[in-house]
Structure 1
Amino acid sequence: MTDNALETTAPLTLLGLGAMGTALAQAWLAAGHDLTVWNRTRSRTEPLVAAGAKPAATAAEAVAANRLVVLCLLDDTSIDETLAGVDLAGKDLVNLTTSTPAQARARAEWAAARGARFLDGGIMAVPPMIGVPESGAYVFYSGAGELFAAHARTLAVPAGTKFVGEDPGFAALHDVALLSAMTGMFAGVAHAFALIREEDIAPKEFAPLLAEWLGAMTFSVHKAADQLQSGEYAKEVVSNLAMQVAGNATLLRTADEQGVSPELLTPYMELMERRLAAGHGDEDTTGVVDLLRR
């Protein structure tokens, strides 16, 4: 069977029917794909079987049904438990189970030792976004490039796709890097709302101002990337590190006046102070990236 034929007929197996796995299954079924499903709790397969999926009694039976096998399980350990003793020779294994870069690289070696091609994925979406083109959902993929090319059309059904390289760990790394940035943003948002919480300022009226401001500040991402790539941290600086460290005193004093803990801000501020103390006051804040490296 040619790769083009695989793209056209697109039969596949999905192991794992939690909230995300179920959303993926529904999208493939809605698009007319021949889908075999398996889940440890068998009752979760029933709504999908009613919608046209083929149930498998065991993981081994599900894997045997199709060349393309997608994993959407609880964690990396669940993969070992689910596929213990299962013949993977000749299979195309796509792992959408959340993992770290190191786990993805180890899993690629594990798959190759069992005669399977491997692709790792990082889903940048929540279940309600899956199968909704206008939601902006997408999945990072990394690993065997020929495997991604062979199944690109099928993989693009539930969400957009972004292939980020042959290194199997790159999808997980991109995923976690973006989620880490999101976590930092959430910390800033929480601090901002805490500052106004006890004042006569309605959170719903403040929210548009906050969202607009955060959006306007995204230019700094591109500037930092340019500085990191060029190594010129003092390039196109608007407010240098010395000015920003001095300004931190106002942020901390305001938090104190408002009765708000500064604990979400101080770790970053301490890095800024360390960089300043090392003589980099004319730079942007980009240099803190180097301080984070261990």
Structure 2
Amino acid sequence: MNNTTDTRVTVIGLGLMGQALSRAFLKAGHPTTVWNRTAAKADRLVAEGALLAPTFGDALKASPLTIVCVTDYPALRELLATTDADLAGTTLVNLTSGDSAQARETARWAEERGARYLDGAIMAVPPVIGTADAVILHSGPESDFEAHKPVLEALGTVSYLGADHGLASLYDVAGLAMMWSVLNAWLQGTAMLRTAGVDAATYAPFARQIAAGVAEWLPGYAEQIDNGSFPAEVSALETDARAMDHLIEESEALGVNAELPKLIKAMAARSIAAGHGAEQYPVLIEEFSKPHEG
């Protein structure tokens, strides 16, 4: 499939993100059919050149490629169950947020009904859709991704992760883990420094420098994890644990919440008790890989 202006696309779901996806396709010149339970949400898109399908089934039949961005996976399954449209020859690209098990289950459901299926995750906010800053993750059969890649690139920077339909969802939540962990660490430091009259804006550049420096460690630490060997090239975990005590004590002395550093210290303490105190910090992967007890 080539990226010509006669390549038709359907977008299902017209929340803020669905509207942004539709506009990106229209801007790229693709005839775009849209559908939403509340048809009025399509009014502005229709004024901009989109075609409103009268029914969900009609929307599916309008294009060989259908992008779905609805509330959740159950909402998608409910929609699909209500149509008797022939899905053979249709490629569904589901950009609805959910978990990896839902992605795999929905892929099986769609494929049993003759549709080709790619799961995806949008790592962007609506205003940047259609620009290179919008990263869209995809997982599923590579041949299906490659067939539609030129069209999907109208949405932003598209990335293929692998044949496992669950990978896009897993990358999505792994990215959230990174985001919240960095933000929470910054908030911890900000709360501490505010007790000395240092405002967040003053601390932010220093925190950004630290975060960027730590990010540089990731490739080497990843190699240790993948090799299952954690020589203390920089610092031993037991040394890091003493610094964790300092962070906890300083937080408590300042009247700042110490729950986060205490959680990290508890995980490190378990690892040290298991005999890993002389190894490097990434050895904690063994603690992160265990289910929570208690």
**Band the TM-score falls in, shorter-chain normalisation:** over 0.9
Q: Does 1:252 align with 2:237?
A: no
Residue in structure 2 matched with residue 293 of structure 1 by the alignment: 289
Counterpart selection for 1:142 from 139, 143, 149:
139
Counterpart CA distance in 2 for 1:244 and 1:24 is 46
Q: Does 1:50 align with 2:81?
A: no
**For the structure 1 residues 168 and 38, does the alpha-carbon distance in structure 2 shift closer, same or farther, using more than 3 Å as the test?**
same
- 1:210-249 → structure 2 map (5 Å cutoff): 210-234=207-231, 237-249=233-245
Q: AA paired with 1:22?
A: Q
**For the structure 1 residues 248 and 277, does the alpha-carbon distance in structure 2 shift closer, same or farther, using more than 3 Å as the test?**
same
Residue in structure 2 matched with residue 73 of structure 1 by the alignment: 70
Counterpart CA distance in 2 for 1:196 and 1:27 is 43
Q: AA paired with 2:262?
A: T
**For the structure 1 residues 147 and 8, does the alpha-carbon distance in structure 2 shift closer, same or farther, using more than 3 Å as the test?**
farther
- 2:279 counterpart SS class: coil
Residue in structure 2 matched with residue 132 of structure 1 by the alignment: 131
Q: AA paired with 1:113?
A: E
Counterpart CA distance in 2 for 1:127 and 1:265 is 34
Residue in structure 2 matched with residue 192 of structure 1 by the alignment: 189
Q: For this pair of structures, how many residues does the alignment match?
A: 288
- 1:217 counterpart SS class: helix
Residue in structure 2 matched with residue 110 of structure 1 by the alignment: 109
Q: Does 1:18 align with 2:26?
A: no
How far apart are residue 197 of structure 1 and its match?
2.4
How far apart are residue 7 of structure 1 and its match?
6.1
Counterpart CA distance in 2 for 1:128 and 1:234 is 45
Q: AA paired with 1:97?
A: T
Residues 5, 28 of structure 2: 8 Å contact kept: no
Counterpart selection for 2:266 from 263, 266, 270:
270
Cα deviation 1:206-240 (Å, max 9, x = unaligned): 111111111111022212211011111116x2111
Q: AA paired with 2:195?
A: E
Counterpart CA distance in 1 for 2:175 and 2:274 is 29
Residues 135, 158 of structure 2: 8 Å contact kept: yes
Residue in structure 1 matched with residue 158 of structure 2 by the alignment: 161
Q: AA paired with 2:60?
A: V
Q: AA paired with 1:204?
A: A
Counterpart CA distance in 2 for 1:23 and 1:283 is 48
Residue in structure 1 matched with residue 148 of structure 2 by the alignment: 151
Counterpart CA distance in 2 for 1:129 and 1:224 is 32
- 1:184 counterpart SS class: helix
**For the structure 1 residues 7 and 118, does the alpha-carbon distance in structure 2 shift closer, same or farther, using more than 3 Å as the test?**
farther
Residue in structure 2 matched with residue 207 of structure 1 by the alignment: 204
- Tell me the TM-score normalized by structure 1: 0.94
Task: Note the aligned Cα RMSD (angstroms).
Answer: 1.4
Of stretches 193-202 and 100-109 in structure 1, the one that deviates more from structure 2 is: 193-202
Q: Does 1:123 align with 2:112?
A: no
- 1:69 counterpart SS class: strand
Residues 7, 150 of structure 1: 8 Å contact kept: no
Cα deviation 1:35-74 (Å, max 9, x = unaligned): 0001111111011111100001211111111111110001
Counterpart CA distance in 2 for 1:59 and 1:22 is 16
Counterpart CA distance in 2 for 1:166 and 1:115 is 18
Structure 2: give runs of 5+ residues left out of the alignment: none
Counterpart CA distance in 1 for 2:59 and 2:107 is 20
Counterpart CA distance in 1 for 2:171 and 2:14 is 24
Counterpart CA distance in 2 for 1:34 and 1:7 is 10
Cα deviation 1:78-110 (Å, max 9, x = unaligned): 102222232222211100001111111001100
Structure 1: give runs of 5+ residues left out of the alignment: none
- 2:120 counterpart SS class: strand
Q: AA paired with 2:112?
A: A
